[in-house]
Structure 1
């Protein structure tokens, strides 16, 4: 798009600390506060900060699986879950997920969210009551899709 004569121009930068970035963030914060003041006030309260939820499975004196997540407001967000190859298909993933959900519910969570690649674990999460709510095809630019899944916890 060509700018109007004497109007505006677009500049480019290589990082998010470039001049103008703080203003862009400020404008979005101001808009969000005007459009959804209750939510934005909640986010600003210390008791609503994201709380880490990290679980590991130890067997034979070593870690063989783990889950890295956080809870915030009514949501459990699972970032990473993995099990050592030789320990897969033994129920560790299910146990990790169940424990994360149990702890999240104790923290007041009502929902869970996870994203996973099509070659990772969409079937695992579907088998545990999650539903696909979105997909980005070719997420990795190599033909693999990314799925977004949620579950109501209670």
Structure 2
């Protein structure tokens, strides 16, 4: 096989999909079907029905990855974040997950996740500059 490497800035979704295809085939051959599934817990403004925040995650290989968790500033302190985490845990258990993982920055909510039983399994210093990016997990009983 003859190959060449091309650098492409601003790749399209087709480019990502082309890279993902052999990776998924390899992973499937080694670890089986990841049974991917997306979940969203939407926080809506009761007056306008507009989505103003929520939680978005992906389940694969029996782990829920929380990709996004956002609460608008004016709705913070009302327990919405805790309700979202608890609901996500319930969904993960219902789907047979063994755990949940996520990443967050030091200027976001690491203490919030620790309060909810998540433990750090890694971090990156200076990501972004002068900050840390944390990786947390929580095993489900």
For the criterion TM > 0.5, the same-fold answer is: yes
Give the aligned CA root-mean-square deviation in angstroms: 2.5
For 1:42, what is the secondary structure of its paired residue? coil
Instruction: Spell out structure 1 runs of 4+ moving beyond 6 A.
Output: none
Change in CA separation of 1:79 and 1:26 when aligned onto 2, cut-off 3 Å = closer
Residue from 54, 67, 71 that aligns with 2:59? 71
The corresponding residue for 1:13 is: 6
TM-score by length of 1: 0.72
Task: Please say which structure displays the higher CA radius of gyration.
Answer: 1
Unaligned 5+ runs, structure 2: none
**TM-score, normalised by the number of residues in structure 2:** 0.78
Contact 1:78/1:112 (CA < 8 Å) preserved in 2? yes
Residues in 1 aligned to 2:24 and 2:104: alpha-carbon distance in whole angstroms: 28
- Tell me, in whole angstroms, the C-alpha distance in 1 between the residues paired with 2:83 and 2:24: 40
Equivalent in 47, 50, 56 of residue 42 of structure 2: 56
After TM superposition, the structure 1 = structure 2 runs for residues 30-49 of structure 1, keeping only pairs within 5 Å, are: 37=30, 39=31, 41-43=32-34, 48=35
Matching of residues 3-152 of structure 1 within 5 Å: 13-15=6-8, 37=30, 39=31, 41-43=32-34, 48=35, 50-61=36-47, 62=49, 63-140=51-128, 142-152=129-139
